[in-house]
Amino acid sequence: MNEQSLAIRKFSDLANPTRFLALSGAVWPWMAAATALFFAVGLYLCFATVGDYQQGETVRIMYVHVPAAWLSMMCYSVMAISALGTLVWRHPLADVSAKTAAPIGACFTFIALVTGSLWGKPMWGTWWVWDARLTSVFVLFLMYLGLIALNRAVDDPARAAKVGAILILVGFVNIPIIKFSVDWWNTLHQPASVIRLDGPAIDPEFLRPLLVMAIAFTLLFFTLHVLAMRNEILRRRVATLRRLAARSAGRGASGPATAGRGEGHP
Amino acid sequence: MRWRQSRFPRLAGRRCRQADEVRLRSYARAWKDVGMTALLLRDLKLSVRAGGGAMIGVLFFMTVVAVIPFGVGPDLNLLARIGPAILWIGALLAALLGLDRLFQAEREDGSLDLLLMQETPLVLTVLVKCLAHWLATGLPLVLASPLLSLFMNMDVSAIGATMLTLLVGTPAITFIGAAGAAIAVALPRGGLLVSILVLPLAIPVLIFGVSAVYAAIQEPAPFLPPFLFLTALTLVFAVIGPVAAAAALRASTD
């Protein structure tokens, strides 16, 4: 593996985890501040604007629900790009990125499902309908959980990354197919569909807070993702150091001359 | 010759049982002489003979279908209405049941390493293994479905449509399941994980399979569009599945 690094020296320099830690350490407070700012403005707008004349106050759920649903899909796209990075370029940070994005994506999907359910109760009179969108998001949630389960089942991080990347890409190819087939299934079973807000028909009054909240959620995702990546890198370093320490301690036990050095080694 | 040291210890370091030796020798002979046809026959024989467990899937299928009336009640009209869906779900679960064995036996006796070192592209090998697996476990499900349809009080057109859609649709489950099986091959308890990973991906197959059956028995809906989508899914998965499975097998042996 080390011999071929001559050709891609520049690229692997960029991928150096230490450099990433330094860069992200400088950047993340700014990202967190921007997230907080956008959330403050967005939440103010959410409650300052008037409610819908039909839906009343419950329309404000939309400002959390829709951005979360967008992010649930964007997060999977980020994971798919990271999976390509793992498989094609063997980028050392790509597998860290894919692994840490999965729980965040699952959280956003969960938020989208829960808020959708809370919104559905006053609007449709039921917590859950087998609407095409809800069903696809639910399947996406299951796929996130499957990916997390796979990551936890494989103990070697490098192999978990490769195998997980393949599954992410297979899922990425399949998501449009699943979406299309669920749409088909829904029109077959439910000819009279539920009332829904159409994108283009939405009033600017609602659109403004929605866009601000979408930006805020996106910033939140990237902040959390960067922080999770930093944690994962540090966690792997700790694991490596522990392994080294255990190895040198074991060596120290067999030979009394090196015992002191083995214990002192981090 | 690095691979001699790195890949053979599992073969050389362990005392093979006689059955394993027979397996390995016949694998080697199969590839050297007649290639993929021999691999297909080999896998078929292994899965049909004792310890292969191909018929377990059919038994499971029958058991699942037999349990349904106890859950929903013995109302024959209701059973006739939900029959095609029950058969499809039963077949899906039964097809998933045997999937974790697709590469597991090869990994245990070491012949997976031989498969990986072949000159034949690994994707092709995986495709042939999928075909053999489907012939041994999927086809019996298709053949058993008319009998189980009678238990479900389905009429002739529904039985024919169910059998036809199962014939076209179950290979898709095997192909996409091969990817899951290859991903979970190195895990100690991969069986459950394979089902969790594969089931969401198999939802389109279930949707189009069941829609095609209902389109065939309910008059206004045309049969052909969902059936052709089902066929297209099988063909797409015949590409995605083996490619992903080959990549996962290579990754898991590094």
Q: Please give the residue range of the domain that contains residue B57.
A: 17-253
The distance of Cα A76 from the centroid of its chain, to the nearest Å, equals 7
In a domain, B159, yes or no: yes
Indicate the pTM of the whole model.
0.80
Q: What is the pLDDT of residues B63-110, one digit of tens each?
A: 999 898 899 888 888 888 888 999 999 999 998 888 877 888 788 888
Interface contact A150-B226, CB threshold 8 A: no
Q: Which two tokens stand for residue B48?
A: 């049909």
In a domain, B12, yes or no: no
Per-residue pLDDT of chain A (266 residues), as tens digits, is 444 443 335 555 556 778 888 888 888 899 999 999 999 988 888 877 766 666 667 778 888 888 898 898 899 999 999 999 888 888 888 888 999 999 999 999 999 999 888 888 887 778 887 777 788 889 999 999 999 998 888 888 888 888 889 999 999 988 888 888 888 787 765 544 444 444 445 666 777 888 888 999 999 999 999 999 999 999 988 988 999 999 888 776 554 444 444 433 33
Q: Which two tokens stand for residue B196?
A: 């969790």
Number of domains in chain A: 1
Interface contact A185-B211, CB threshold 8 A: yes
In a domain, A208, yes or no: yes
Q: Which two tokens stand for residue B72?
A: 């929903």
Written in H, E and C, the secondary structure of chain B is CHHHHHHCHHHHCCCCCHHHHHHHHHHHHHHHHCCHHHHHHHHHHHHHCCCCCHHHHHHHHHHHHHHHHHHHCCCHHHHHHHHHHHHHHHHHHHHHHCCCHHHHHHHHHCHHHHHHCCCCCHHHHHHHHHHHHHHHHHHHHHHHHHHHHHHCCCCHHHHHHHHHHHHHHHHHHHHHHHHHHHHCCCCCCHHHHHHHHHHHHHHHHHHHHHHHHHHHHCCCCCCHHHHHHHHHHHHHHHHHHHHHHHHHHHHHHC
Number of domains in chain B: 1
Return the residue of B nearest to A171 by Cα.
B201
Q: What is the pLDDT of residues B138-170, one digit of tens each?
A: 899 999 999 999 888 888 888 999 999 999 999
In a domain, A36, yes or no: no
Quick check: B41 pLDDT over 90?
no
Q: What is the gyration radius of the CA atoms in chain B, in angstroms?
A: 20
In a domain, B2, yes or no: no
> Long-range contacts made by residues B87-90, C-beta under 8 angstroms, separation at least 24?
B87/B145, B87/B148, B87/B149, B87/B152, B87/B162, B87/B166, B88/B162, B88/B165, B88/B166, B88/B169, B88/B206, B88/B209, B88/B210, B88/B213, B89/B64, B89/B206, B90/B61, B90/B64, B90/B65, B90/B148
A148 vs B contacts (CB less than 8 Å): none
Q: Please give the residue range of the domain that contains residue A170.
A: 61-192+204-249
Place of tokens 């037999």: B66
In a domain, B60, yes or no: yes
In a domain, A156, yes or no: yes
For residue A223, count CB atoms less than 10 angstroms from its CB and return exposed for 0-12, middle for 13-18, buried for 19 or more: buried
pLDDT of residue B245: 92
- The residue among A107, A104, A116 whose CA lies nearest residue A64 is A116
Nearest to A163 among B176, B204, B252 (CB): B252
Question: What type of residue sits at position A15?
Answer: A
- The residue among B250, B166, B246 whose CA lies nearest residue B205 is B166
In a domain, B70, yes or no: yes
Q: Which two tokens stand for residue B174?
A: 């095997």
Return the residue of B nearest to A173 by Cα.
B240
In a domain, A54, yes or no: no
Q: How far is B236 from chain A (nearest CA, A)?
A: 10
Interface contact A146-B196, CB threshold 8 A: yes
In a domain, A235, yes or no: yes
B residues 176-235 lying closer than 8 A (beta carbon) to A: 176, 179-180, 183-184, 186-187, 189-190, 193, 196-197, 199-201, 203-204, 207-208, 211, 214, 221, 226, 229, 233
